Amino acid sequence: MKLHTLRRAVIGTVAAAATALALTACASGAANSGATGSADDNPYGLITPGQIRVASLGDSKPYTFTDESGEFTGFDVELFTDVAHRIGIDDVVFTGQDFSGLLAAVANGQFDVGVAAIGITEERKQTVDFSDGYLAGYLTVMASPDADIADEGDLDGKRLGVVQGTLQEAYAVKNFTDTELVRFPDNNAAISAVVSGAVDAHFLDYEAAKEYAEQYGLENAIDIPSFDAPAGFAIAKGNDAFKDALNEALHEAMEDGTWKELYQKWFPGSPMPDQYLPSDEQTPTPSESPTE
């Protein structure tokens, strides 16, 4: 707690200095010149100017996870790092959180952004703002092949793991009413329970399920589209300068093929969605298609 107080005090000083600088800039009519401006050194209202603190997850491979040396990596991590670079920031610090506390930690200013395959929903928008979407996929029930789970009806009377605070939990509460839900803080704990037989299946993101399936001989038993809740970067409400900059950089990363490259690297063999590809690689929608 003492450390916390100290850090806040330091941040307070930095913030005061930044405000003073901004005021000086205003007075000289040069405010808000963006990342390249020399006067305004914190255009995105970051906790520490020049650094982005990211709330993430250590066990959501291949989206966000820590490798053998403890470094954060994965699709979301590499995409966000690329986007941050495009807005002039290379000092990006990822920290693992429980998913259930992640959005609150962003909303109350402990982190500048949340990056963890976080689906954009109206409910979550009450707590945080989101960048535009960057990934739309499936929610997957993963089980042992012996569990005989092939469709949603097969979950009746079964024990199903969900990570607290996820869309999977919300979907299961609403739709799997005859299933016993067992809540876990993270995927690793839930997978251990599937492997030990303490639960019959676990409900998580498609690519993470694929990863665990290979590792533990489990299978993707049911895939449920979650295209209406594409993942976005979560930021504190009202920080439009930061949001706009992230969006612009994100769309650049899509347009120049960086998004596609990362998708192929981290999700090999998965169907390539259209909407985040460079515009000249997108297939025409049916109404524009000459065959329609």
Tokens of 20: 């003073």
Which one of 38-46, 134-142, 154-162, 256-264 is the stretch in contact with ligand SNW (CB under 6 A)? 134-142
Note whether 167 binds ligand SNW by CB under 6 A. Answer: yes
Note whether 229 binds ligand SNW by CB under 6 A. Answer: yes
CB neighbours of 224 closer than 8 A, spacing ≥ 6?
A: 138, 139, 140, 141, 171
Note whether 96 binds ligand SNW by CB under 6 A. Answer: no
Note whether 230 binds ligand SNW by CB under 6 A. Answer: yes
Which CB atom, from 154 or from 205, has the smaller least distance to ligand SNW?
205
d(CA 285, CA 30): 45
Q: With H, G, I as helix, E, B as strand and everything else as coil, classify residue 110.
A: coil
Which one of 19-27, 147-155, 226-234, 251-259 is the stretch in contact with ligand SNW (CB under 6 A)? 226-234
Cα separation values, 62 from 57, 78, 109, 252, 262, Å:
11, 11, 27, 23, 11
Shortest distance in whole angstroms from residue 183 CB to ligand SNW: 13
Pairing label, strands 138-143, 51-56? unpaired
Contact residue for ligand SNW among 57, 87, 92, 141 (CB under 6 A): 57
Note whether 99 binds ligand SNW by CB under 6 A. Answer: yes
CB neighbours of 211 closer than 8 A, spacing ≥ 6?
A: 61, 62
Shortest distance in whole angstroms from residue 220 CB to ligand SNW: 13
> Which residues are near ligand SNW by CB under 6 A?
57, 60, 99, 116-119, 135-137, 163, 166-167, 205, 226, 229-231
